[in-house]
Amino acid sequence: MKNIKVLGPGCANCKNTHALIETVAKAKQIEIQLEKIEDLQAIMSYGVMSTPGVVIDGKVVHAGGVPPRAKVEGWF
Amino acid sequence: MSTLTDTDHGVRRPPWGWLAVGFGAWIAAYASLIPLADAVIAVLGLTRATHLGEAIHFFFYDTPKVLLLLTGIVFLMGVVHTFVAPERTRALLSGRRLGLGNVMAASLGIVTPFCSCSAVPLFIGFLSAGVPLGVTFSFLISAPMVNEIALALLFGLFGWKVAALYLALGLSVAIVAGLVIGRLGMERHLEDWVREMQATQSAAYESATPTWAERIDAGVAHVKEIVGKVWPWVLAGIAIGAGIHGYVPEDFMVSIMGRDAPWWSVPAAVLIGVPMYTNAAGIIPIVEALIGKGAALGTVLAFMMSVIALSLPEMVILRKVLKLPLILTFAGVVATGILVVGFVFNAVL
């Protein structure tokens, strides 16, 4: 099971990203463990400067804005 | 639908044809603005000689014009953003000295994608990569204040001279304020955990270089996001402007915000702007109304800069990384810069 973290201090785009990943995973019927990381120090420890960022199994795969749906689909 | 080939970014051809069609349509639409507005009042059986006719003509000329300009500029900026990721800007600014560094930071602030919710990660990311504090501030002031939406709207509503002046003065405020903060040597007023982070370099995320198809997608996405959010404000602003255009004579605004208003009108405009928090699009209807009622341009631009660049919510966010003396210095220096802009504008124009 993939562990996915959405990095972001709770802005609108961070919530949209979280929802998008949830939707895509559900549509593909893939079980994932989805977390929100809102603590700034924790976000910074991933070396991400523009939020929202997405971390899959400890690796940053996206930063700076809501990812396009096609990109999210490519992760699964 | 063969979704596999549609979503495969590696091989998708950039939609140059669609881009050319869009560009042609844009030019054609821009060229037919006046005939369109003329046609609308002709259909309604009005002439521009009447107040109502003039107001309606103004509305149907200005609305499409501003929305077209906004769409064009926002699309271009969406594409430009794919060339200047924050990581790239940081690499360019890393280790720069005060002076040239501030000029570069303020200029990059215009083209680097920025949202106020990532102000803090960006701030720390810059500092930890060795961008000096003063240079970081130049970026942080310029990025929200001098942005494409403000410039596009000013250009559409008040002409290119006002937009160019706003650009030049916004950059000047960002550069000088960053220089002053850098000279004051206020690094010790960063929160402790930020200073610790400065010492420990974390591995930075590098995104893959986008293809042209993805860059164009980004431009379209930017238009959908920005223009989709901003158009009601633009409509409201122009409607107010049209009302004023057709009817309201210059009135009491002239006495408190006009050219011959007392000296304190500029500081008052800046003070009123601080607790107000909105983006460039939200402030435009107010600006349009104020100028329509005869307020002086310098006073209004100072007000606009204050609303966008100095906001209480942003200070609360920044408080997580800056100690109080540094926040107060930041606010003080920026406010002073904006005041000078207001006074100079009023004196020159």
- Domains of chain A and CATH, by start: 2-71 (3.40.30.10)
From chain A residues 11-30, the ones with a CB under 8 A of any chain B CB are 11-14
Higher pLDDT, B255 or B145: B145
Q: State the smallest CA–CA distance between residue A34 and chain B in angstroms.
A: 20
Q: Note whether A67 contacts B: Cβ–Cβ < 8 A.
A: no
Q: State the smallest CA–CA distance between residue A47 and chain B in angstroms.
A: 4
From chain A residues 26-65, the ones with a CB under 8 A of any chain B CB are 40-41, 43-51, 53, 60, 62-65
Q: What percent of chain B has pLDDT over 90?
A: 14
Select from A11, A44, A63 the Cβ nearest to the Cβ of B197. A44
B224 is written with which tokens? 């959908």
Max intra-chain CA distance, chain A: 33
The answer to whether the Cβ–Cβ distance between B113 and A43 falls below 8 Å is no
- Name the nearest CA neighbour of B92 among B78, B67, B111: B111
Select from B117, B197, B202 the Cβ nearest to the Cβ of A51. B117
For residue A46, list chain B residues with Cβ-Cβ distance below 8 A.
202, 205
Higher pLDDT, A49 or B92: B92
Which residues touch B94 (CB under 8 Å, ≥6 apart)? B129, B130, B131
Q: State the smallest CA–CA distance between residue B206 and chain A in angstroms.
A: 9
- SS3 string of chain A? CEEEEEECCCCHHHHHHHHHHHHHHHHCCCCEEEEEECCHHHHHCCCCCCCCEEEECCEEEEECCCCCHHHHHHHC
Per-residue confidence (pLDDT) for residue B1, from 0 to 100: 37
Res B121 pLDDT > 60: yes
Per-residue confidence (pLDDT) for residue B211, from 0 to 100: 84
The answer to whether the Cβ–Cβ distance between B122 and A53 falls below 8 Å is no
- What CA–CA distance (Å, rounded) separates B349 from B343? 10
Select from B6, B86, B203 the Cβ nearest to the Cβ of A64. B86
Q: State the smallest CA–CA distance between residue A5 and chain B in angstroms.
A: 15
Reading chain A (76 residues) residue by residue, the pLDDT tens digits are 788 888 887 777 888 888 888 888 888 888 888 888 888 778 877 877 777 888 888 788 888 778 887 888 878 8
Q: State the smallest CA–CA distance between residue A1 and chain B in angstroms.
A: 24
The 10s digit of each residue's pLDDT in B213-238 is 888 888 888 888 888 888 887 887 77
Q: Is-contact B307 B283, C-beta < 8 A?
A: yes
